[in-house]
Amino acid sequence: MSESNYSERLEQSLRKALSTYPTGVAIITAQTERHGQVGITCNSFVSISLSPPLIAWSIRNASRNMPAFEAAAGFSAHVLSRDQSSLSKLFSSSDNELKFSNVRTTPGISGAPILEGCTAYFDCRKFAEHVIGDHKLFIGEVMDFYQAPADKSLVFFDGAYRTLSSASVGSFSHERVSASEILEVRSDLCAFMVQLACERADEDDFRRIEGAVDAIDRVSLTEARRERILAGLRFFDALAVASHNSAFKPIIDTLADIVRDQVQDVSVAASLPEMQSSRRRILNAIKLRDKQAATSAMEEYMRALSTREKSAANHVADISSALSTFERGTPR
């Protein structure tokens, strides 16, 4: 492999490894007489200091916008909200005129245009700038800032835009949504999931569910609490796959997030004997494509699960660590 190919590969894998770090998405704007209004999408935005109030971001040395940011006395950093991914795309293009013809702005103290409708902005005077490798780091002192009430930020992770679904789930606080309300929804959803599984499951799905049921029974005999949690999650995962509707998977994952948020109420006590038999009955009913039996077994299972969860002891650390290491992709 030639040296340039090698360093290209290395750069690619470094970029990929860095993309495991989720960030928000910001747009940095500035204005000068000579360059007019400029703005770029940026995820290198970072907070640096509270006293003095400093933030920083970096720009590629080769960027066409570099001269404008170098010449400007200040800049504004905007945190994008979850519905502004198209604005992010627009500001990662190269046409500054087009960028600003699509968004309303007001002038900031720094002279930079403030974009309307963002989650937050930080209007800064330039505090320092340093060339570091192939980027230039700009540090700004915050002169003015604003935060929109209760707005959710856009997230960039693994090269794609995401929304903070688990954080929105965080708004399912104990005061607003009770554990029993969540359990009711989860129960109905799981009943629907097994009905679809009765219609659509194939031999592979039967095997996968059976494997998950066996695995739970095996770990139920031990005291390995973390293993029990993972086995339980795999059982639901196998059912979601057997429903052949890929919408269940993210929904079930979201429910797991809710459980994590409500973790103080969740038991990881040993599986009750009636749960063990309901799991087998769910499996058998799916194999026989008996929707009614599958639904009632699932309802019974969920009732037992709720009873167990409601009477739970707190095992926060165990469940959190199990959920965070749980591999969500189930091989088909």
Ligand X SMILES: Cc1cc2nc3c(=O)[nH]c(=O)nc-3n(C[C@H](O)[C@H](O)[C@H](O)COP(=O)(O)O)c2cc1C
Q: Which string of x and - marks every residue 12-51 that binds ligand X (by CB under 6 A)?
A: -------------x--------------xxxxx-------
For residues 72 and 34, the answer to whether their CB atoms sit within 8 Å is no
The tokens describing 14, both together, are: 């470094």
Taking contact as CB under 6 A, which single stretch among the options 12-20, 63-71, 106-114, 317-325 is the one that binds ligand X? 63-71
Among 7, 12, 49, 94, binds ligand X (CB under 6 A): 94
**Of the two residues 58 and 271, which places its CB atom closer to ligand X in the complex?**
58
Strand pairing of 154-157 and 135-147? Answer: unpaired
> Which candidate, 152, 151, 75, places its Cα nearest to that of 109?
75
List the one residue from 19, 32, 37, 63 that touches ligand X (CB under 6 A): 63
Find the binder of ligand X among 65, 85, 110, 243 (CB under 6 A): 65
| Options 90-98, 202-210, 269-277, 312-320: segment touching ligand X (CB under 6 A) | 90-98
In angstroms, what is the minimal distance from the CB of 159 to ligand X?
9
Contacts of 251 (CB under 8 A, 6+ apart): 189
Q: Of these, 156, 172, 235, 248, which contacts ligand X (CB under 6 A)?
A: 156
CB-nearer residue toward ligand X: 92 or 330:
92
- The stretch near ligand X (CB under 6 A) out of 87-95, 170-178, 220-228, 265-273 is 87-95
58 binds ligand X (CB under 6 A): yes
* Region of 84-92, 204-212, 265-273, 282-290 interacting with ligand X (CB under 6 A): 84-92
> Which residue(s) pair with 137 in the sheet?
58, 130
Q: Closest separation between CB of residue 35 and ligand X, Å?
A: 12
For ligand X, give the closer residue by CB, 140 or 232.
Answer: 140
Q: How many residues bind ligand X (CB under 6 A)?
A: 17
Cβ partners under 8 Å of residue 37, min gap 6: 29, 30, 31, 96, 99, 100, 105, 113
Residue 132 C-beta: closest distance to ligand X, Å: 12
Which CB atom, from 94 or from 102, has the smaller least distance to ligand X? 94
Q: What residues make contact with ligand X under the rule CB under 6 A?
A: 25, 40-44, 58-60, 63-65, 88, 91-92, 94, 156
